[in-house]
Amino acid sequence: MAEKGVQLDQESFSCSICLDLLKDPVTISCGHSYCMNCIKAHWDEEDGKKLHSCPQCRKTFTPRPVLGKNTMLADLVEQLKKTGLQAAAAAAADHCYAGPEDVACDVCTGRRLKAFKSCLMCLASYCEKHLQPHHDVPPLKKHKLVEPSNKLQENICSRHNEERKIFCRTDQQSICYLCLMDEHKGHDTVSAAAVRTEKQKELEGSQLNIQQRIQDREEDMKLLHQEVEAINLSADKTVEDSERIFTQLIRLLEKRSSDVKQQVRSQQRTELRRVKELQEKLEQEITELKRNDAELQKLSHTEDLSQFLHNYPSLSPLSESTDSSSINIRPLSYFEDVTAAVSEVRDKLQDVLREKWTNVSLTGTEVDVLLPQPQPTTRAGFLRYSCEITLDPNTVNTTLLLSDGYRKATLMREQQSYSSHPDRFSECYQVLSRESLTGRCYWELHIFSQQSPNPRLRSSVLQSRSVPGSQSRYSVLLQRL
């Protein structure tokens, strides 16, 4: 807070021209204050205009004002300078004093300063001032100085009040020379300096090992970063290429669909024209036949024999009749061949996709959202539904030996010792799986036996015990042939 107050005072007593504390302050008639030399230099530049102004409020003066030192303002500035120096000195002193977490000088009295170094010979810590004898006095120059530490007393034996300069390998602890003559007599001992040298070498070796491992891990990280970039680039390119190919395929199918539609509609128009022409011809023929029929009807009712014989030759002859063979009627079957051809193309496309889609997979898992799942017929097809199962030791028959993490069952000559369990099979060479399976699953069995060199066994997989959720555990049954 003191520093903030000093800063505010400095801003209040600063010259607006040089932006520094006022020197020989003068106050002009408008009330603003400047350094005497600053305002003189400003007005010297305005002498050619014969008009002088205040740099802040722009008030003009004619003639040029006579300047006089403001003694009261000068005293305030001097007092401010002293206050600022004292505050800076106090702040510097506060920075040098030891805090709760700092190592304090053991020589300072009152408020102690921070320690600059600790002496392993004196077992004391010193600030820069009290450390000076260790730089000037020849005997003290031989003392070993280290970074400030609060644990210097740990180097002194609490029992004999002597420095711990010996390391006992037997008890793995530092001791003094009096401890060596007492409870550590006959132990494997060595100088603490020698142990430090030995441990330092081990430490350096560990550091080198750690640094090498860090370097190796960093190289691994670089490789992983490169792999991530390669995966992303490959995935992005694959998605882009796949979208382009599928777009081309969709456009091709749309083009073929449009072609089929146009062909069907064209054929439809042709067939309709043919039928319409036949309809018009038949209508004309029907009209003519009806007219002839009316004439014949009229003639047949003529009672006058002379009139009948006279009019009979004048009847108009019948026109050529339309050939019925030209009327080809195929109800509901005009374009069935087109539908059949399109269906055949669809079936072939599905067959191709079904065969080739196994190559399109992510992390070994096949993703098929285009076509319904076909019934597998080959081992490769069944492997799509493969799963690993483990065998339940609580259900295994005592003639079967479980191994390989309960994934292998061997038919043995001797009875195996298993603990009693109500789920155990006692009559059949049978064992249940631990897993509850649902949906379509697939596994393979390899049969082993120690009962004969060429065992003749058959296995069958029986759905055994149902559990909630429409899931079941399965059992493997071995039978002699």
pLDDT tens figures, 362-392: 444 444 434 445 677 777 777 777 777 788 8
Report the chain's mean pLDDT, rounded to a whole number: 78
Cα dihedral 420, 425, 427, 428, rounded to 10, equals -140
Contact between 457 and 401 under an 8 Å Cβ cutoff? The reply is no
Contact 437, 472 (CB under 8 A): yes
Give the containing element (helix H, strand E) for 276: helix 192-300
467 has which bridge partners? 471
pTM score over 0.85: no
Tokens 């109500």 sit at which residue?
422
Q: Report the C-alpha gap between 408 and 34 in whole angstroms.
A: 101
Among 144, 142, 175, 140, CA closest to 160? 175
Q: Give the C-alpha separation, 294 to 298, whole Å.
A: 6
In the DSSP assignment, the letter for residue 374 is P
Tell me the backbone φ, ψ of residue 14, rounded to 5 degrees: -105, 150
What per-residue confidence (pLDDT) applies to 400? 87
Residue 398 in 3-state DSSP?
coil
**pLDDT score at 322:** 60
Query: What's the one-letter identity of residue 53?
Result: S
H or E element in which residue 38 lies:
helix 36-46
Q: What is the pLDDT, as a whole number, of residue 368?
A: 43
Give per-residue pLDDT as tens, 150-184: 887 777 787 887 778 888 988 888 888 788 888 88
Within the chain, which residues score under 50 in pLDDT?
1-8, 89, 362-372, 450-474, 476-481
Which ranges in the chain are annotated with CATH 3.30.40.10?
2-96
Sequence letter at residue 211: Q
Question: What is the pLDDT at residue 420?
Answer: 86
CB within 8 Å of 294: residues ≥ 6 apart: none
- What integer pLDDT is reported at residue 226 of this predicted model? 92
Tokens 């802040």, located at residue: 56
Query: How far is Cα 459 from Cα 443, in angstroms, rounded to an integer?
Result: 13
Contact assessment for residue 81 and residue 88, using Cβ atoms and an 8 Å cutoff = no
Rg (CA), the chain: 57
Cβ atoms of 160 and 178 closer than 8 Å: yes
Task: Measure Cα distances from 50 to 11, 45, 251 in Å.
Answer: 32, 10, 89
d(CA 400, CA 391): 11
Q: What confidence tens digit (pLDDT) does each residue in 232-262 have?
A: 998 899 889 989 988 998 999 899 899 989 9
Residue 69 has φ and ψ, to the nearest 5°, of -65, 135
Identity at 269, one-letter amino acid code: R
E-assigned strand segments in 20-134:
25-27, 33-35, 52-53, 60-61, 117-119, 124-126
Return the SS3 of 166: strand
**Residues 413, 419, 423: CA angle, nearest 5 degrees:** 95
- Burial-class residue 472 by CB neighbours within 10 Å (0-12, 13-18, 19+): middle
Per-residue pLDDT, 350: 80
Q: Which architecture, in CATH terms, is 2-96?
A: 2-Layer Sandwich (3.30)
Query: Which structure tokens are listed for 385?
Result: 């539904």
Residue 360 has a pLDDT of 61
With a CB cutoff of 8 Å and minimum separation 6, the contacts of 470 are 438
> In the numeric block, which tokens belong to residue 248?
């081309």
Query: What was the pLDDT predicted at 415?
Result: 87
Report pLDDT for 163: 78
State the number of CA atoms in the 13 A half-sphere of 367 facing the CB.
4
